[in-house]
């Protein structure tokens, strides 16, 4: 996880796009935190306070990772085989199940997060 500009920078080992997508979705939907993510990082906006980041990470760690799911862009449904034959809601759930990576999420939650100021 990183923070842009001069805001605090939490340093977390890479856990891949699937874990980052899930973490970003959970932080965005449950805490309303604006962020970006890719295969390597979850980046917070410069206006996100370090205490807010720490609190959000602590809150995520206390939750059941098995219930966490990544956000799915509805455009990705078009890439599914037989997408025209599958209900949109079912297709979204199918993609969520395929993209979740509980092992990486749990490994990440068990790591110590170190905060630095850039």
Domain span at 8? 2-71+101-117
Residue 27 lies in a domain: yes
Residue 28 lies in a domain: yes
Residue that wins the pLDDT comparison between 71 and 8: 71
Q: Phi and psi (nearest 5°) for 42?
A: -120, 115
Residue 77 lies in a domain: no
Residue 88 lies in a domain: no
Residue 34 lies in a domain: yes
pLDDT tens for each residue of 7-17? 444 444 456 88
Residue 92 lies in a domain: no
DSSP state of 29: H
Residue 50 lies in a domain: yes
Number of structural domains found in the chain: 1
Residue 91 lies in a domain: no
DSSP state of 7: S
pLDDT tens for each residue of 20-63? 889 889 988 888 888 888 888 888 888 888 888 888 888 888 99
């Amino acid at each position: 996880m990183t923070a842009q500009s001069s805001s605090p920078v939490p340093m977390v080992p890479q856990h891949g796009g699937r874990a980052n997508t899930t973490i970003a979705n959970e932080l965005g939907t449950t805490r309303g935190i604006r962020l970006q993510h890719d295969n390597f990082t979850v980046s917070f906006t410069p206006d996100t306070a370090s205490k807010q980041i720490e609190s959000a990470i602590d809150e995520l760690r206390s939750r059941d990772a098995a219930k966490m799911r990544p956000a799915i862009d509805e455009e990705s449904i078009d890439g599914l085989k037989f997408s025209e034959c599958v209900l949109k809601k079912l297709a979204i759930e199918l993609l969520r199940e395929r993209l979740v990576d509980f092992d990486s999420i749990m490994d990440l939650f068990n790591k110590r997060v170190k905060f630095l100021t850039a």
